[in-house]
Amino acid sequence: GQSLEQPSEVTAVEGAIVQINCTYQTSGFYGLSWYQQHDGGAPTFLSYNALDGLEETGRFSSFLSRSDSYGYLLLQELQMKDSASYFCAVRRGENNFNKFYFGSGTKLNVKP
Amino acid sequence: DAGVIQSPRHEVTEMGQEVTLRCKPISGHDYLFWYRQTMMRGLELLIYFNNNVPIDDSGMPEDRFSAKMPNASFSTLKIQPSEPRDSAVYFCASSPKTGQGDGNTIYFGEGSWLTVV
C-alpha cells in the first residue's frame, strides 16, 4: 500500500512565501507530483519530481528527497488566486504500469 | 484537444437507481483513470485502464461498481444500485504513455457531481 501525509490547511498573506510539505510511504516509488484544485474545479498538474532536488516553474517550486521520502511545494509571491487545495501524489510503478495515489490535500487560504 | 470530457456534469438520483458516468479521454493517451473525491476520503483511485484493458480495480468499493472501456475513446463507470454514500465527485483522467513527453502528468476531466438521495 501507500500513505501520504500533508497538512490539512495553511493560511498566508498575499505576497508571502508558503511551503506545503508531503511525506510518503510507498513501494515502487517513481516520483512525486503536485496538483492544484480550486473549489468546484478539477485537479490540474503543477509539477513532477523524479530525482532529488528542486524544480522551479515560475512562482512555484517543488522539492524531493527520495532518501527522506519527503517533498514540498513552495509558492512565492502569493496571490489571491493561489487560494486552492494542493495535493501531492506519488507515482508508483507496478509491472511497468503507472499508478498515481493522492494525498488528502492542503487547503491554502491567501488573505489580503 | 478538448481535454478529458465527462458526462453528466451533475446528476441527482434516487437510491436504488442505476447511474452511468461517461468519459472521453484525450486522444492518444494510453491510460485512463477513474477517481472518486469526497471530503472524508479525499481522491481515491477506483480503477485504471491501459490500452483499454483494466489493470487494477482494487479501489472499486463494491460489486455495485463496474467500469468498462470498450474502445480507446470511451469509458463508463456504472453504479447499480446506487446508495446515498455513493454521493461524491467522480473524476475521469487520462495520461500518455510513460516515457512520452508528459507521461508523468494526469489530465482530469471536470468531474461528475453525483448526489444519491
C-alpha cell at B91: 473524476
Rounded Cα distance, B62 and B36, in Å:
13
CB-nearest to B31 from A48, A96, A98 is: A98
pLDDT at A23 over 80: yes
Task: Report DSSP state, residue B54.
Answer: E
pLDDT at B102 over 70: no
The reported pLDDT for the residue numbered B90 is 98
The reported pLDDT for the residue numbered B62 is 86
Rounded Cα distance, A37 and B7, in Å:
20
Residues of B with CB under 8 A from a CB of A: 31, 33, 35, 42-43, 45, 48, 50, 55-56, 91, 95, 98, 103-111
Rounded Cα distance, A48 and A64, in Å:
9
The full DSSP string for B6-40 is EE-SEEEE-TT--EEEEEEPPTT--EEEEEEEETT
pLDDT at B2 over 90: no
Q: How confident is the model at residue A28 (pLDDT cuts 50, 70, 90)?
A: confident
- The residue that leads in pLDDT, A2 or A24, is A24
The reported pLDDT for the residue numbered B1 is 64
Matching residue, cell 461498481: B65
CB-nearest to A98 from B42, B91, B95 is: B95
Residues of B in contact with A89 (CB under 8 A): 106
Distances (CA, A) of B103 to A60, B4, B5, B98: 20, 15, 19, 4
Measure the N-to-C terminal CA separation of chain B; round to a whole number of Å.
Answer: 36
pLDDT at A97 over 80: no
Q: How confident is the model at residue A86 (pLDDT cuts 50, 70, 90)?
A: very high
Chain center to CA of A78: 16
Phi, psi of A65 (to 5 degrees): -125, 105
